[in-house]
């Protein structure tokens, strides 16, 4: 275990957290983008060191979003949206630094609780999942897609996006190494040379999360960065730990909600923070103070969104299903090193598993130390001009796409295609997270589906194979029924606002 803890390993975590906070703190840039553009660097670092960098970026990126959320009222990442509700009123009262420190401490609590759940829960789930046959594995993917679609803002469009992701992932050859027949499908004539292996995962991800985000910013005219005069950080002496008195339950509940939301595939940090915030308000003795600068609101939001970090790794490391878009990118890091994540991962790679847990722990502590003691300097990050940052990020996107498969120019064009698609998808109200998860899981779903039918020769096997299959069908039906009930309730509220 301790042989992995080298000065390089620790420096990569520290560097990753630092860069992640910077990315998170700049509105329009996210933890996902930070991980996307840094992936090619992991090539020569090896798996454990590469993961140290990426996990540092992940934790830093999620945490950094609170800086502009509190100081400017603009969430640096979507998961910080509820931090603005109480952070901005506090900043307006001259308590900006206090609000930031409340958020930082809550982020640490959320991150550590979710890490503990990851450490305890992922190996157990993986041990259980080892017993799954192709049938149960297919149903798990089906369940993941149905949960994701059910929790989308529009269920029908969510399902469509997920299925579209699966469809796009099937472009190319039905790989012989997966038991396929080596024949091409869904490839337009004349494009066989480029699309033989389909669209590579990482250029697709870099396009969707790098280029698409910059196109969205360009569409809005690339708003200027804030000037230092606009930053309402307030007095350094206004923070005291006594503000957390009586908030233990709020912190634990919000961290738990964040972790649980993280475990659900494809549901992002914004859902984690919104649900945590709503619960904190509901159970508060003073719900009327929420939205007016109530510290408990910042605690709930930040503990919730950082709770996501460990939770999202649970399905990734135990089932091979990413919990959110950033952990989907981590699959890329594993792929680069030739390692497949799934039920066998933890048992077969104990060193990597320990390295990940240790890296997450250190990343959370480093994030806390950096942000708590240097928050005044990180606050200045929001003033970095975007006209300098965005071109450099675009260039890094190109590097990432090109080097991922050792120099294939078609991957760079894939980046452009999916960058434009990502921008267009938002306009068409398609959901990117289900699309990505569908794209990642599509090839496995195909293998499990076809092999199940080849082995058993009947569709009824998906219902009768084992009690696990029955439970999974109940869960699938429950998630869809729950979503329909929720959308009907929402429609009823719209029709009758009284």
214 scored as a contact of other proteins (CB under 8 A): yes
Which DSSP letter does residue 463 get? H
Tokens 């915030």, located at residue: 277
Q: Does 412 bind other proteins (CB under 8 A)?
A: yes
Residue entry with tokens 């990180």: 378
CA distances from 447 to 54, 117, 360, 435, 450 (A): 29, 31, 33, 19, 5
Cβ pair 317, 137 in contact under 8 A? no
Q: How far is the CB of 454 from other proteins (least distance, A)?
A: 5
Give me the least distance between CB of 198 and other proteins, in Å please: 12
> Tokens 């969430």 label which residue?
75
* Integer Cα distance of 94 and 372 in angstroms: 18
Token code pair at residue 324: 């959110």
**Contact positions with other proteins (CB under 8 A) in 125-184:** 156-157, 159-160, 163-164, 166-167, 170, 173-174, 180-181, 183-184
Nearer to other proteins, 304 or 419 (CB): 419
Give the interface segment with other proteins, choosing from 4-12, 66-74, 240-248, 410-418 (CB under 8 A): 410-418
String of b and e for 127-150 (b: at least 16 CB within 10 Å)?
eebeebbbbbbbbbbbbbbbbbbb
Minimal distance, residue 28 CB to other proteins, in Å: 11
Question: 466 φ, ψ to 5°?
Answer: -160, 175
Nearest approach, Cβ of residue 167 and other proteins (Å): 5
Please report how close the Cβ of residue 173 comes to other proteins at its closest, in angstroms. Answer: 8
Please select the residue that binds other proteins; options are 177, 237, 282, 460, rule is CB under 8 A.
460
Query: What is the spatial distance between Cα 57 and Cα 38, in angstroms, rounded to a whole number?
Result: 9
Separation of alpha carbons 418 and 425, rounded Å: 10
**Cα 354 from Cα 358, distance rounded (Å):** 6
Task: Determine the interface stretch with other proteins among 39-47, 274-282, 295-303, 327-335 (rule: CB under 8 A).
Answer: 39-47
388 binds other proteins (CB under 8 A): yes
Structure token pair of residue 2: 């301790």
Separation of first and last alpha carbons in the chain: 60
Whose structure tokens read 């080298």? 6
Site for other proteins in 417-456 (CB under 8 A): 420, 427, 442, 445-446, 449-450, 453-454
Measured from the CB atom, the residue of 249 and 409 that comes closer to other proteins is 409
The residue from 219, 246, 470, 484 that contacts other proteins (CB under 8 A) is 219
Contacting other proteins (CB under 8 A), which of 5, 222, 380, 468? 222
Binding flag, residue 380, other proteins (CB under 8 A): no
- By CB under 8 A, tell whether 69 contacts other proteins: no
Size of the site for other proteins (CB under 8 A): 63
Instruction: Please select the residue that binds other proteins; options are 288, 387, 492, 494, rule is CB under 8 A.
Output: 387
C-alpha dihedral (43, 48, 50, 51), degrees to nearest 10:
140
Shorter beta-carbon distance to other proteins: residue 185 or 286? 185
Phi then psi for residue 312, to 5 deg, are -65, -20
- Assess 395 for contact with other proteins (CB under 8 A): yes
What radius of gyration do the chain's Cα atoms show? 22
Min dist. Cβ of residue 396 to other proteins (A): 7
Please, are residues 310 and 114 in contact by the beta-carbon 8 Å criterion? yes
What is the smallest separation between the CB atom of 96 and other proteins, expressed in angstroms?
Answer: 26
Is residue 40 part of the contact set for other proteins (CB under 8 A)? yes
Q: Which of 284, 403, 466, 487 binds other proteins (CB under 8 A)?
A: 403
Give yes or no for residue 25 binding other proteins (CB under 8 A). Answer: no
Residue 34 binds to other proteins (criterion: CB under 8 A) = no
Q: Which of 165, 138, 229, 53 is closest to 461 using CA atoms?
A: 138
CA dihedral 478, 483, 485, 491 (to 10 degrees): -170
Alpha-carbon separation of residue 264 from 141, 146, 282, 340, 429 (angstroms): 12, 10, 23, 20, 21
Q: Which two tokens stand for residue 65?
A: 């979003």
CB of 367 to other proteins, least distance (A): 26
Whichever of 60 and 165 has its CB closer to other proteins, that residue is 165
Instruction: Closer to other proteins by CB, 130 or 395: give it.
Output: 395
Q: What minimum distance in Å lies between the beta carbon of 315 and other proteins?
A: 22
**138, 461 Cβ separation under 8 angstroms:** no
Contact with other proteins (CB under 8 A) among 194, 372, 413, 473? 413
Token representation of residue 171: 């472009």
C-beta of 371: minimal distance to other proteins in Å? 26
Q: 139, 437, 94, 102: which is closest to 268 by C-alpha?
A: 437
Question: Which of the residues 184 through 203 are near other proteins (CB under 8 A)?
Answer: 184-186
Nearer to other proteins, 459 or 492 (CB): 459
Is 54 within 8 Å of 45 (Cβ atoms)?
no
Which of 8, 252, 399, 475 contacts other proteins by CB under 8 A?
Answer: 399
Give the C-alpha separation, 279 to 297, whole Å. 10
CB of 394 to other proteins, least distance (A): 7
By the criterion CB under 8 A, which residues form the site for other proteins? 40-41, 43-44, 156-157, 159-160, 163-164, 166-167, 170, 173-174, 180-181, 183-186, 211, 214-215, 218-222, 224, 385-388, 390-392, 394-396, 398-399, 402-403, 406-407, 409, 412-413, 416, 420, 427, 442, 445-446, 449-450, 453-454, 457-460
């Amino acid at each position: 275990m301790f042989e992995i803890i080298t000065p390089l390993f620790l420096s990569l975590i520290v560097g990753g957290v630092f860069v992640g906070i910077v990315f998170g703190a700049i509105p329009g840039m996210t933890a996902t983008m930070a991980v996307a553009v840094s992936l090619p660097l992991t090539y020569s670092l090896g798996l454990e060191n590469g993961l140290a960098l990426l996990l540092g970026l992940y934790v830093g990126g999620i945490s950094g979003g609170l800086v502009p959320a509190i100081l400017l009222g603009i969430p640096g990442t979507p998961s910080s949206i509820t931090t603005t509700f109480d952070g901005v009123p506090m900043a307006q009262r001259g308590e900006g630094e206090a609000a930031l420190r409340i958020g930082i401490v809550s982020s640490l609590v959320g991150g550590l609780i979710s890490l503990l759940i990851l450490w305890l829960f992922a190996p157990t789930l993986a041990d259980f999942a080892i017993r799954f046959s192709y049938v149960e594995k297919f149903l798990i993917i089906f369940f993941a897609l149905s949960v994701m679609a059910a929790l989308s803002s529009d269920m029908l469009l969510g399902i469509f996006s997920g299925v579209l992701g699966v469809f796009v992932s099937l472009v190319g050859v039905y790989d012989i190494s997966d038991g396929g027949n080596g024949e091409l499908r869904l490839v337009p004539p004349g494009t066989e040379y480029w699309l033989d292996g389909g669209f590579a995962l990482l250029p697709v991800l870099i396009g969707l999360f790098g280029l698409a985000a910059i196109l969205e910013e360009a569409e809005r005219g690339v708003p200027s960065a804030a000037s230092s005069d606009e930053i309402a950080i307030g007095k350094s002496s206004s923070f005291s730990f006594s503000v957390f008195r009586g908030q233990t339950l709020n912190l634990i509940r919000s961290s738990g909600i964040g972790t649980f939301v993280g475990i659900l595939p494809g549901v992002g940090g914004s859902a984690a923070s919104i649900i945590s915030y709503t619960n904190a308000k509901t159970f508060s003795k003073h719900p009327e103070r929420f939205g007016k600068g109530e510290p408990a609101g910042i605690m709930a939001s930040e503990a919730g969104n950082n709770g996501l970090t460990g939770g999202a790794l649970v399905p990734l490391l135990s089932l091979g299903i990413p919990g959110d878009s950033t952990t989907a990118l981590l699959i890329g890091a594993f792929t680069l090193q030739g390692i497949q994540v799934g039920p066998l991962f933890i048992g077969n790679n104990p060193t990597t598993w320990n390295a990940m847990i240790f890296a997450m722990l250190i990343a959370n502590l480093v994030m806390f130390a950096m942000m708590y003691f240097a928050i005044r300097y990180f606050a200045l990050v929001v003033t970095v001009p975007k006209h300098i940052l965005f071109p450099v990020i675009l260039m890094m996107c190109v590097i990432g796409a090109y080097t991922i498969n050792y120099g294939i120019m078609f991957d760079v064009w894939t980046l452009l295609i999916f960058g434009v698609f990502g921008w267009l998808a938002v306009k068409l109200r398609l959901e990117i997270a289900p699309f990505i998860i569908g794209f990642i899981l599509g090839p496995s779903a195909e293998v499990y589906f076809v092999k199940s039918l080849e082995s058993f020769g009947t569709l009824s096997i998906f219902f009768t194979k084992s009690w696990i299959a029955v439970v999974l069908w109940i869960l699938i039906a429950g998630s869809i029924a729950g979503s329909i009930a929720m959308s009907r309730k929402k429609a009823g509220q719209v029709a009758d606002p009284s």
